[in-house]
């Protein structure tokens, strides 16, 4: 199993429409995303994570 030493974010939803909206928003913000599986979207590229942090989309 892979270990990650940096922050990454996941978005999970059963609705394909909702996931598509999230992915479109990411693209508009120039955030790179990938599909982890059929219902999970991952944002793991360091510059993309930093962009989410900078605009306040990913807060504790």
What confidence tens digit (pLDDT) does each residue in 12-40 have? 999 999 999 999 999 999 999 999 999 99
C-alpha neighbours within 13 Å on the C-beta side of residue 39: 4
What is the average pLDDT score of the chain? Answer: 89
* Three-class secondary structure of residue 12 per DSSP: strand
Q: Which sign, positive or negative, has the C-alpha torsion 15, 19, 25, 28?
A: negative
- The pLDDT score that the predictor gives to residue 57 is 59
- The pLDDT score that the predictor gives to residue 60 is 53
**Length of the chain as a residue count:** 60
- Confidence class for position 45, pLDDT limits 50, 70, 90: very high
Which helix or strand (DSSP H or E) is residue 22 part of? helix 16-28
Return the bridge partners of 57, or none: none
């Amino acid at each position: 199993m892979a270990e990650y030493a940096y922050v990454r974010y996941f978005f999970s939803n059963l609705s394909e429409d909702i996931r598509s909206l999230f992915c479109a928003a990411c693209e508009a913000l120039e955030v790179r995303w990938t599909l982890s599986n059929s219902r999970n979207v991952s944002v793991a590229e360091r510059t993309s994570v930093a962009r989410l942090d900078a605009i306040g989309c990913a807060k504790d």
